[in-house]
Amino acid sequence: MLVAMSETLTTNEYTDDLRYEVFNREFMPHIDSMYNFAFRLTMDEDDANDLVQDTYLKAFRFISSFEQGTNAKAWLFRILKNSFINDYRKKSKEPSKVDYQEVETTYNSEEASDTTYTVDLRADAVQELIGDEVANALNALPVDFRTVIILCDIEGFTYEEMAKILDIPIGTVRSRLHRARNLLKEKLRSYASSMGYDS
């Protein structure tokens, strides 16, 4: 069944059979995660469908640049994220509220006030929230902040994998995640208090 015999496959040369084999074995098991990622990025079922399809077709077409033995899930997520930025973000239905750079700069400049930054939210109040409320709070974040939380807390990627998926340094992963969580806490707090969970 294995192919590594006559042809020396030290390079990424894929025979046709191997392309299908790798695709099925390495890529297909991640399709549910990919679909959920696409849906949380686009917030739209049709766009999510297209995005997942495009990503998988691209992955197949460029399969020779996938190194076997490396993390297929991270590789796929990176393609999906790039497709999202290039093809979907422009026509995204999300109101073009704040430019992301602007948000990050604002937060960076408030580094000093970070010291006193605490959100008045108790763990018990979070415990009471149901999945939809947590999802709504997450969805209310600007997409780049939403993305790091999805990758880290929902999909369980390491900081190093996130850095590769997002093409940013690990230090930026850390700080973006930190800010994303502060924003999320604010959203969660307003949910908690509107539900009357908070005293």
Partner 1 sequence: MNASSTTPSVTEVAQKQMKHTCEHHAECMKIIQAILDDEASEAEKDHFRENMDKCIPCIESYRLEKCIKDSLNNKIVKKPCPDSILNTIISKINS
Q: Is residue 155 classed as helix, strand or coil in its secondary structure?
A: coil
Binding mask 52-81 for partner 1 (x = CB under 8 A): xx--xx--x---------------------
Q: Write the CB contacts of 54 (distance below 8 Å, at least 6 apart in sequence).
A: 83, 87
Binding to partner 1 in span 12-41, by CB under 8 A: 20, 23, 31-36, 39
Nearer to partner 1, 32 or 86 (CB): 32
* Binding residue (CB under 8 A) for partner 1 from 22, 141, 143, 152: 152
Q: Is residue 13 classed as helix, strand or coil in its secondary structure?
A: coil
Q: Is residue 191 classed as helix, strand or coil in its secondary structure?
A: helix
Is residue 134 near partner 1 by the rule CB under 8 A? yes
Amino acid sitting at position 150: I
Q: How far is the CB of 164 from partner 1 (least distance, A)?
A: 15
- Determine whether 89 is exposed, middle or buried from the number of CB atoms within 10 Å of its CB (0-12, 13-18, 19+): middle
Residue with tokens 């340094």: 169
Nearer to partner 1, 39 or 99 (CB): 39
Q: How far is the CB of 172 from partner 1 (least distance, A)?
A: 14
Q: Which one of the spans 7-15, 67-75, 89-97, 178-186 is the region binding partner 1 (CB under 8 A)?
A: 178-186
- Tell me, by CB under 8 A, how many residues bind partner 1: 46
CA dist 78 and 108 (Å) reads: 25
Q: How far is the CB of 114 from partner 1 (least distance, A)?
A: 5
Residue with tokens 């990050």: 104
Is residue 195 near partner 1 by the rule CB under 8 A? no
DSSP state string for 98-150: S-HHHHHHHHHHTTGGGGG------HHHHHH--HHHHHHHHHTS-HHHHHHHI
> What is the binding site for partner 1 (CB under 8 A)?
20, 23, 31-36, 39, 49, 52-53, 56-57, 60, 114-118, 121-123, 126-127, 129-132, 134-135, 138, 149, 152-154, 156, 158-159, 174, 177-178, 181, 184-185, 188
